[in-house]
Amino acid sequence: MGVNNKINVGMVGYKFMGKAHSNAYKQVNMFFDPDAEVVMKAICGRDEQGVKAAAEKFGWEGYETDWRKLVKRDDIDFIDINAPSDAHKEIALAAIAEGKHVFCEKPLALNLSDAREMLAAAEKAGVKHGICFNYRFLPAVQLAKKIVDSGKLGEIHHYRATYLQDWLVDPETPLAWRLKKEIAGSGAHGDINAHSIDLARFLIGEFDRVIGHNRTFVKERPVLESSSGLTGTGSATEKGEVTVDDATAFLADFKNGAMGMFVASRFATGRKNHNTFEIHGSKGTIRWDLENLNELQVYFREDEPELAGFRRVLATEPEHKYAGNWWPTGHIIGYEHGFVHIAYEFVQHLASGSPFAPTFEDGVRCQEVLEAVDLSIERGTWVSVEEV
Ligand code: SOE
């Protein structure tokens, strides 16, 4: 892997996730001791002025304006894809054909068949692959996983998740690429329920069946010249149709017998990035909220009755995975640190073959649940995840 113990990354995308991933690669070398140094070879984007400025600002050695050229470069070991969702499959298949390992933003693809094609291609080519479900890699979420796996919660009865934002509640917010089905694949459902589905699979296991419903509250929005990022920039000229969900909620049965409740919305006024889970077991409960990402609320029935109650664990101690790589006890970390941790683990996976998840397999499993919910909405009935 790599030359002189270096791992050379080429990245497609230079906006929001491009910045988050660039920051992650820079910080891996500074705060972790990877088995190979990450070299930020080239960042790629269609707009030369924009991608050139990003390369200089983010610290890339160079830039490309055509991903077809990037994936062919001999001085690159893996391709990081964080372009809009409709580009994931074509870029990944081309990179895999060139023998490149691939690290892709979520959701893996526009739909399940594309996601399955990407997984099959990566497995056939024998390249390594990963998907950026970054929230698994925050210390408090790693602690949640450790608690569940230890059996300290007992039998899991309920898993409740929300992913609530409100950046679309103003009907004058312009039509961005995330609101067009042909580019994003789906709206709040594929964008943020995807995270909740992955966290549930990571923490308590596989889904059995689902039933959902959804809304598109605002059916058309102002169209801007450049509909980049979350909301776009420029002056509105006309209105365009919103072709994705603004909110999707669903019930779930897990294979382990737990009951699931999920809701993702971009119209949850006042909630900015309210990614939460609460897990109720026969012996205790844990609750996590991205807006307080260093904290895990815990409740254990074994506590003395007069002292029973939820208490806050601050996951910033050396005992908490990844926390010790940053600062002394109690010095909290932020949203961007989950990306540094997943980047470190993927680089280690490439450099020394250490285990890595989530892979494209997890991307496919997530897409299966997403599409089972969509099918259940069409039919108005429960749908088994194995059916899609
Ligand atoms: C917008 O909903 C968004 O940027 C998602 O695309 C990310 O995956 C999530 O982590 C934050 O919100």
Q: What is the tens place of the pLDDT at every residue in 48-80?
A: 999 999 999 999 999 999 999 999 999 999 999
CATH class in words for 139-292+294-333: alpha beta
- 171-209 pLDDT, tens digit each: 999 998 899 999 999 999 999 999 999 999 999 999 999
The rounded distance, in Å, linking the Cα atoms of 293 and 24 is: 18
**CATH for the stretch 6-134:** 3.40.50.720
**Residue 65 contacts by C-beta under 8 Å, 6 or more apart in sequence?**
44, 45, 46, 47, 48, 51
Taking CA atoms only, the protein residue closest to ligand 1 atom 10 is 192
Please list, residue by residue across 214-244, b when 16 or more beta carbons sit within 10 angstroms of its beta carbon and e when fewer do.
bebebeebbbbeebbebbbeeeeeeebebbb
Ligand 1 atom nearest the C-alpha of 106 is 8
Ligand 1 atom nearest the C-alpha of 17 is 4
108 alpha carbon – ligand 1 mean position (Å): 14
353 Rama class: left (phi>0) / alpha (psi -120 to 50) / beta = left
Q: What confidence score (pLDDT) does residue 229 get?
A: 47
Tokens of 73: 């470069």
- 305-344 pLDDT, tens digit each: 999 999 999 999 999 999 999 999 999 999 999 999 999 9
126 alpha carbon – ligand 1 mean position (Å): 30
The rounded distance, in Å, linking the Cα atoms of 195 and 142 is: 15
The rounded distance, in Å, linking the Cα atoms of 146 and 158 is: 18
The rounded distance, in Å, linking the Cα atoms of 79 and 129 is: 10
Ligand 1 atom nearest the C-alpha of 188 is 2
The rounded distance, in Å, linking the Cα atoms of 157 and 281 is: 5
Contact between 246 and 261 (Cβ < 8 Å): no
CA neighbor of 102 nearest in space, from 179, 11, 192: 11
The rounded distance, in Å, linking the Cα atoms of 129 and 143 is: 25
Query: Beta-strand (E) ranges in the chain?
Result: 6-12, 37-44, 62-64, 78-81, 101-104, 129-131, 156-164, 207-215, 220-223, 238-241, 247-254, 259-265, 274-281, 284-289, 295-300, 311-314, 383-384
Chain centroid to Cα 358, Å, comes to 10
CA angle 325, 26, 361 (to 5 degrees): 80
174 alpha carbon – ligand 1 mean position (Å): 17
* Residue to probe by mutation, ligand 1, list 162, 192, 289, 339, most atoms within 8 Å of CB: 192
Residue 191 CB less than 6 A away from ligand 1: yes
172 alpha carbon – ligand 1 mean position (Å): 20
Tokens of 240: 């365009």
* Residue to probe by mutation, ligand 1, list 16, 141, 191, most atoms within 8 Å of CB: 191
Indicate the pTM of the whole model: 0.96
β pairing state of 259-265 and 247-254: antiparallel
Residue 38 sits at φ, ψ, to 5 deg, of -80, 125
54 alpha carbon – ligand 1 mean position (Å): 20
192 alpha carbon – ligand 1 mean position (Å): 6
Residue type, 201: R
Q: What confidence score (pLDDT) does residue 177 get?
A: 86
17 alpha carbon – ligand 1 mean position (Å): 9
The rounded distance, in Å, linking the Cα atoms of 97 and 364 is: 20
283 alpha carbon – ligand 1 mean position (Å): 33
Q: Per-domain residue ranges for the chain?
A: 6-134, 139-292+294-333
User: What single string gives the DSSP state of each residue in 105-141?
Assistant: PSSSSSSHHHHHHHHHHHHHHT--EEE--GGGGSHHH
195 alpha carbon – ligand 1 mean position (Å): 9
Residue 192 CB less than 6 A away from ligand 1: yes
Q: 88: exposed, middle or buried (C-beta count within 10 Å: 0-12, 13-18, 19+)? A: buried
Ligand 1 atom nearest the C-alpha of 134 is 10
Longest dimension (CA), the chain: 66
Ligand 1 atom nearest the C-alpha of 135 is 10
**What residues of the chain score a pLDDT lower than 70?**
1-4, 225-237
